[in-house]
Amino acid sequence: MDRDLSEDDSVVDLSFEAESPLAPPAELLERLPSYDWLFQGGGQQIMFPPLEAPGRPLEQRCWSSFLEHRVPLVTEEVAREALLSFVSSKCCYGSTAAGDLIIQELKQQTLCRYRLETFSESRISEWTFQPFTNQSVDGPQRGTSPRLWDIKVQVPPMFQEDTRKFQVPHSSLVKECHKCHGRGRYKCSGCHGAGMVRCPSCSGAKRKAKQSRRCQMCSGSGRRRCSTCSGRGSKTCATCKGEKRLLHFIQLVIMWKNSLFEFVSEHRLNCPRELLAKAKGESLFKDENTAVYPIVDFPLREISLASQRGIAEHRAALSPRARVLQQRQTIELIPVTEVHYWYRGQTYVYYIYGTDHRVHVVDYPDRYCFGCTII
């Protein structure tokens, strides 16, 4: 049976807009007396942490242990073993060359790696909302909202990054949903509220082209039930989940972040820098506190300068908006060996780096596939 749109009286006339912006209009939100400053700068504000207390005085450090520290030298035997274990871990490297090569020269150097890690906390506040389900409302009538840096929260373990959100006390208020204007539903955009759509099989012609039989899909009606709204013509409002009202409140977003500054001392070898940054080192010095002070008297001047630079860089980058909770600076020794070897009339080079003797091969004579495309 043919059905006309006008016959379908089950559809409620929903004249309001199906779409509306995600964020509530600013004028919708009443200004809470204690949070007026939030509206300066578009509703979201970065809070400035209170000033840090002056730190401890600089300590004199004794570096004599630095001179005593020695990383064991790599011998020819160790160099060959390291290469053999490297090639056996790769599918396309033959072990013959590693076994037969003649080591000509071992160039060794111990590098210093300086690292500064700064663990900081920053706080921002923003308006947000959720469907109101008759829960109790903690509004300004219950008291003044605390200032953002006065809200006490559980800090995650040091140097463990995290982001968490909290509801600011006494900042809540209930408003009619701005998307459905308090109706809980809005007009279906698939059928414009009709509940029915044109039959996709016969395009509304009621019968297929060049066929006299009426369309099977719509039983000749030319229309099908709208699949978006299951024929209801309206959909539950996604913003208020059909609750008609929203609970607006100020949300405190806390971010705990690690910042890293890294410096590897100058060297004459051609081992790639990114490998040296990851290399396993021998710990020489470790200093951890709520704030660390620049190393000034390390025997290697470039390390002292790196420490000063790193601390200044982190301070400049973080101090206006974040509070430093903990800092850690370390100095490690990174051994690097450049191995020159001879194999079947040619010379080649590879590197052994880190205390765990990792290998970086520049060119290897006994390699039988490229890029491991065939396994």
Q: Which positions touch Zn ion (CB under 5 A)?
A: 177, 179-180, 188, 190-191, 199, 201-202, 215, 217-218, 226, 228-229, 237, 239-240
Closest listed residue to residue 185, CA positions, set 235, 135, 148, 220: 235
Name the minimum Å distance from CB 168 to Zn ion.
Answer: 24
SS (H, E, C) 353-374: ECCCCEEEECCCCCECCCCCCC
- Find the Cα–Cα–Cα–Cα dihedral 6, 7, 11, 17, rounded to 10°: -10
Q: Retrieve residue 164's tokens.
A: 């968490």
Identify whether the C-beta of residue 89 lies closer than 8 Å to the C-beta of residue 265: no
Name the minimum Å distance from CB 238 to Zn ion.
Answer: 8
What are 263's strand-pairing partners? 114
Name the minimum Å distance from CB 44 to Zn ion.
Answer: 23
Identify whether the C-beta of residue 115 lies closer than 8 Å to the C-beta of residue 332: yes
Name the minimum Å distance from CB 190 to Zn ion.
Answer: 4
Residue 94 or residue 204: which is nearer to Zn ion going by CB?
Answer: 204
From residue 167, give the alpha-carbon distance in Å to each of 58, 66, 89, 141, 282: 41, 51, 52, 16, 46
Residue 180 or residue 254: which is nearer to Zn ion going by CB?
Answer: 180
Helix or strand or coil: residue 87?
Answer: helix
* Contacts (Cβ under 8 Å, ≥6 apart) of 289: 56, 326, 327
Residue 208 or residue 267: which is nearer to Zn ion going by CB?
Answer: 208
Name the CA radius of gyration of the chain, rounded.
Answer: 35
Residue 115 or residue 179: which is nearer to Zn ion going by CB?
Answer: 179
Name the minimum Å distance from CB 177 to Zn ion.
Answer: 3
Residue 69 or residue 225: which is nearer to Zn ion going by CB?
Answer: 225
Residue with tokens 């409302």: 137
Give the DSSP letter string of 314-343: HHHHHTTTEEEEEEEEEEEEEEEEEEEEEE
Residue 113 or residue 224: which is nearer to Zn ion going by CB?
Answer: 224
Name the minimum Å distance from CB 229 to Zn ion.
Answer: 3
Name the minimum Å distance from CB 247 to Zn ion.
Answer: 12
Closest listed residue to residue 33, CA positions, set 175, 170, 174: 170
Planar angle of CA 71, 75, 78, nearest 5 degrees: 95
Name the minimum Å distance from CB 14 to Zn ion.
Answer: 11
Q: Retrieve residue 47's tokens.
A: 């809070």
Residue 74 or residue 229: which is nearer to Zn ion going by CB?
Answer: 229
Residue 115 or residue 185: which is nearer to Zn ion going by CB?
Answer: 185
Name the minimum Å distance from CB 182 to Zn ion.
Answer: 7
CA distance 246 to 244: 7
CA distance 42 to 27: 12
Residue 17 or residue 356: which is nearer to Zn ion going by CB?
Answer: 17
